[in-house]
């Protein structure tokens, strides 16, 4: 068997993920309009969806490494889009919460991101889109068991 990078599943998934992320960034304009990186947007979206979360929880929710989450949190906190408050039970743990401005940006970007997603999923029938989502879940679960 000959190795062909273009046919290698991890490569195909990475390229597809990057393309989808670029499409969402362009379609929702969060980079140009709000100066958010893709990582910052994901962190802001995860924290806003949760209401509050720790950095460890955000890393788990987003499947991003802790250092990337930490840098994003620092940038979002500096820009006053997130707040960090000490956890009552463990002073080393900080709760992240979106600020009013963070929520405002989220509430602008999220519907636009969903529109881009809908446009991409329109390439598939409803059954194909459901099968794609199910296949991605199965892949993640299989990888988690390894």
pLDDT digits (tens, 9 = 90+) for 77-131: 999 999 999 877 777 788 999 999 999 999 999 999 999 999 999 999 999 999 9
18-41 average pLDDT score: 92
Q: For residue 141, how far is the Cα from the chain centroid?
A: 18
Q: Is the dihedral of CA 60, 134, 45, 29 positive or negative?
A: positive
**Residue-level pLDDT at 146:** 84
- Residues of the chain with pLDDT > 90, as a percent, come to 85
66-81 average pLDDT score: 96
89 exposed, middle or buried (CB, 10 Å; 0-12, 13-18, 19+)? exposed
Q: What is the mean pLDDT of the chain?
A: 94
- Whole-angstrom Cα distance, residue 125 to residue 133? 12
CB atoms within 10 A of CB 4: 8
pTM score of the predicted model: 0.87
Give me the domains of the chain, ranges plus CATH numbers. Answer: 25-110 (1.10.10.10)
């Amino acid at each position: 068997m000959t190795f062909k990078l273009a046919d290698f599943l991890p490569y195909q998934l990475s390229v597809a993920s990057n393309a989808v992320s670029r499409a969402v960034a362009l379609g929702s304009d969060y980079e140009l309009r709000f100066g958010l990186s893709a990582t910052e947007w994901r962190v802001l979206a995860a924290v806003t969806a949760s209401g509050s979360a720790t950095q460890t929880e955000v890393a788990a929710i987003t499947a991003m490494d802790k250092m990337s989450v930490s840098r994003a949190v620092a940038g979002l906190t500096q820009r006053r889009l997130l707040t960090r408050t000490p956890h009552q039970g463990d002073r080393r743990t900080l709760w992240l919460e979106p600020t009013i401005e963070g929520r405002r940006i989220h509430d602008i970007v999220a519907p636009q991101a969903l529109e881009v997603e809908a446009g991409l999923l329109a390439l598939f029938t409803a059954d194909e889109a459901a099968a794609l989502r199910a296949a991605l879940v199965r892949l993640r679960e299989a990888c988690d068991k390894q």
